[in-house]
Amino acid sequence: MGDVTMRWRFWGMLGAVVCLGQGVSAQNSPSKVTPALGVVKWDQSVTVDPQGSNPANPPTPLPVVASGNELPLVSGEGFQGRNGFFNATGFHEQGQLWGGLDYLLWWMTPNPISGPELVTRGSWNDSAPGAVGQTNTVIVGPAPDIQYGGFSGGKLTLGGWLDLDQSLGIEFTGILMEQRSFGAYYAGATLPNGQIFTNPTKELLPYLGTNAIGQWSTASTLKQAGVVLPPTSNYMLGSNLQMWSGDISGVANWGRNATQSFDVLFGFRQMQVQEGLSLKGQTAYYDFPNSQYVTQTGVDSIASTNGFYGAQLGGKISEQFGFLKVDVVAKFAMGATVQNINFTGTNTVTTLAGATTTPGYVYTQKSNLGLHNATRFAVLPDIMVKMGLPVTENLQMGVGYSFMYLSSVARTGNQLDPYINAAANPAHPIANMGNDGIWAQGVMFSAELKY
């Protein structure tokens, strides 16, 4: 662009000088000066003939040929780009097409647990073994939430300008993170005699299962807040989380120069967060009244799917510092999250008569079993800062930091309703269609190709 601009300025100046020279020549016919090829300069020493018909005319400057072939300096001050913010002194190194592949190492918001007493250890000698507040009850975890650790993932970017002026383009960005899992196993065999692992609750569940835990449904036990139902010998906790996202944006260049560029982004954004949580308890004991061994296995399973959909607006600033290129991208999406939570649970009791399975266990009951859904307003800000160095003319390698936050999701840990009471109105446990937020942040290592 710089060469083109300079060329137009040169020809425009030459044309103006030629026109002015012709006008002077027509007015003063005795003195005809034909400029030679080369660069024209002004010289005040050339005047009209004093013997002419107009001796009183003041000296008139005429163009003469410069002794050298130097180009006069032309100031570009005040000549600005399409936005009025940038001086249009040249193209920013963008390329007509571009693409990028990033490796992401991110951390995400831990899965919050409704209460720290999800798993307790208690003594059979207490009136309510494992209940919070009992003499021998110890909280063993997890507290206060489930940590997933670092997530590996990838980010793909593809884009291109739709015109040769590079004023309007389109860009696609996709992010896929791995599924991370958490697991914990609490083995009753590791406990001293007379102790068990349990699921404590803050209120009572008049358990309607079988005689396997009937001993914990006596009138004296039910009067104690925090009774544990049912007791377990082994306890397993598992959880997993995965996220992916994508957006498609129009790109409008707001202005650029030789080292800077500013683009406006506008389009559509989608983000998906999936999470699962499962609780499994096992116990075995001898039923003296019926002279039989009884085993019991119960499972609570909760799965949540959160889909965000919204309009997005943002901007991208790129600046070149020598060989170092710095990109700052900020996006803000506004829309809604569609939340779906599915509760499933079973309780299987095996006696001499065989196995009996009933729906629900501890945190899954008739009051919340099945699929629940809700739609919540949500916002999604997304910020990225990246620095890169060229490897070849078209390839750049870089490192950066990114952060995004979705304001409304349903987390599985918050579905563990500790207020379990089938006689309440509404009955508990219930589905918690809340507005929990989730963030993802971390470092990125990128390769960017332009053409």
Q: Which pLDDT tens digit goes with each residue over 281-298?
A: 888 777 777 788 888 888
Q: Please list, residue by residue across 378-394, b when 16 or more beta carbons sit within 10 angstroms of its beta carbon and e when fewer do.
A: bbbbbbbebebeeeeee
pLDDT of residue 59: 55
| 102-119 mean pLDDT | 87
Q: Tell me which fold the domain 97-450 belongs to.
A: Lipocalin (2.40.128)
The span from the CA of 59 to the CA of 82, in Å, is 43
Calculate the dihedral angle through the C-alpha atoms of 8, 10, 11, 13, rounding to the nearest 10 degrees. 120
Average pLDDT of 18-22?
A: 46
Cα angle 356, 357, 360; round to 5: 145
336: Cβ–Cβ under 8 A, 6 or more apart, which residues?
A: 308, 309, 310, 375, 376, 377, 378
| pLDDT winner (highest mean) among 91-105, 211-225, 324-338 | 324-338
Residue 48 reports pLDDT greater than 70: no
pLDDT at 143: 64
Q: What is the pLDDT of residues 166-206, one digit of tens each?
A: 999 999 999 999 999 999 888 887 888 778 787 766 654 44
Other residues' Cβ atoms within 10 Å of the Cβ of residue 169: 21
**Quick one: pLDDT at residue 193?**
78
Q: Which of 292, 272, 285 is nearest to 337 (CA)?
A: 272
33 — pLDDT class (breaks 50, 70, 90):
very low
- Residue 430 confidence (pLDDT) above 70: yes
Lowest mean pLDDT among 12-26, 125-139, 413-427: 12-26
Domain boundaries, the chain: 2-65, 97-450
- CA gap 136, 105 in Å, rounded: 43
- Top pLDDT among 104 and 364 is at 104
State the pLDDT at residue 335.
98
pLDDT at position 326, please?
A: 96
pLDDT digits (tens, 9 = 90+) for 228-287: 456 677 889 999 999 999 999 999 999 988 899 999 999 999 999 999 999 998 887 777
Global pTM reads 0.73
